Structure 1
Amino acid sequence: MSRYLLDKFLFTVDRDPVLVERYREDPAGTVAEWERTTANRLLSAHAGEDSTWLAFTDEERAALVAHDYPTLFGMGAHPFLTLTLFIAMFERDHPEPMAYQRAYAEALAHFSLPYPDIST
């Protein structure tokens, strides 16, 4: 399992409005394409300095495809990255102010301190 790769996915998708919409509508296709084209691209490297070994585990891939942020949180994905991405994708489906944020917190309420390690 790679918390780095999970966080990298959440970070890069959240920063691209086209990817946010694609991930909302076609999570399996987005995860598969991102893993194939972006997972091994170093964030700040020059062309040709890519990695070759990074890949999601089956459990990580399934949680990403299912938009299962409680499972991602339990795996150590950073809560701010999941929150900002999932707000971008699903806040519009909750008409009342802060309704999605409250639903997010409720879904994570079963976690108690200490929270899963989010260091990378």
Structure 2
Amino acid sequence: MSKYLLDKFLYTVDRDPELVERYREDPVGTVEWWEAEMANKLLNCIDDEKTTWLAFTEEERKALREHDHVTLFQMGAHPFLTLTLFIAMFERDHGPLEYQKAYGKAMEHITMPYPDITT
């Protein structure tokens, strides 16, 4: 499992409005495309700079495909990254602060110590 790769996915998708919409509408295709095309590119580098070893586990792919922020948090994805991305995708479907409250409520059962979110 790579918390780095999960956070990199959440970070890069959240910063591109077209990717946010793509991920909202086609999470399976977006995760597959991103893993094949973007996962091994180094952040803030030229396109020719890349690695070859980064890949999601099947559990990570499943959580990303299902927009499952609770499982992502339990795997160590940073909650601020999931929250900002998921607000961008789903807040429009809810009233003021409804989505944020539902996001928190879904994680109510998680007790301290929380998963390690360092990368």
Which TM-score bucket, shorter chain as reference?
Answer: over 0.9
Q: Deviations over 1:45-65 (max 9, x none)?
A: 334220000000000000000
Q: Deviations over 1:77-102 (max 9, x none)?
A: 0000000000000001112x110000
Which position in structure 2 is the counterpart of 1:64? Answer: 64
Structure 1: gaps spanning 5 or more residues: none
Which position in structure 2 is the counterpart of 1:31? Answer: 31
Letter in 1 for 2:116: D
Alignment identity in percent?
70
Q: 1:113 Cα shift?
A: 1.2
Which position in structure 2 is the counterpart of 1:118? Answer: 117
Letter in 1 for 2:87: I
Q: Deviations over 1:24-55 (max 9, x none)?
A: 00000000000011000000233422000000
Determine helix, strand or coil for the equivalent of 1:92: helix
User: Pairwise CA RMSD of aligned residues?
Assistant: 0.7
Once the two structures are superposed, the pairs formed by residues 1-120 of structure 1 within 5 Å of their partners are 1-95=1-95, 97-120=96-119
2: distance between equivalents of 1:90 and 1:47? 31
Determine helix, strand or coil for the equivalent of 1:118: coil
Structure 2: gaps spanning 5 or more residues: none
Letter in 2 for 1:112: T
Q: More displaced, 99-108 or 41-50? A: 41-50
